Amino acid sequence: MGNEKSLAHTRWNCKYHIVFAPKYRRQVFYREMRRAIGCILRKLCECKSVRILEAECCADHIHMLQCLSKLSENV
């Protein structure tokens, strides 16, 4: 309960599980590409005030668990 956001009469704890996968789930996320994509996603989340709680990059997909700080501004 301590990590909930609140307004006048509401409380929320929004977490989104997002999976990025290439077409046909080709195994394309290796070494340099993995580092580059990680850097790009971190920068995008920083610009949008989105906090990355967990992230994992597999050979054929990327998992991210994100938490929004302000609901209306991030949509």
- For residue 24, the 8-state DSSP code is G
Residue of 52, 68, 53, 65 whose CA lies nearest to 4:
68
Q: Decide if 62 contacts 5 (C-beta within 8 A).
A: no
Per the prediction, the chain carries an average pLDDT of 86
Look up the pTM and report it. 0.72
Mean pLDDT of the region 39-66: 94
Question: For residue 12, how many other CB atoms are within 10 A of its CB?
Answer: 10
In a 10 Å sphere around its CB, with 0-12 CB exposed, 13-18 middle and 19+ buried, how is residue 47 labelled?
Answer: exposed
Mean pLDDT of the region 5-24: 85
Mean pLDDT of the region 7-36: 88
pLDDT for 74 equals 46
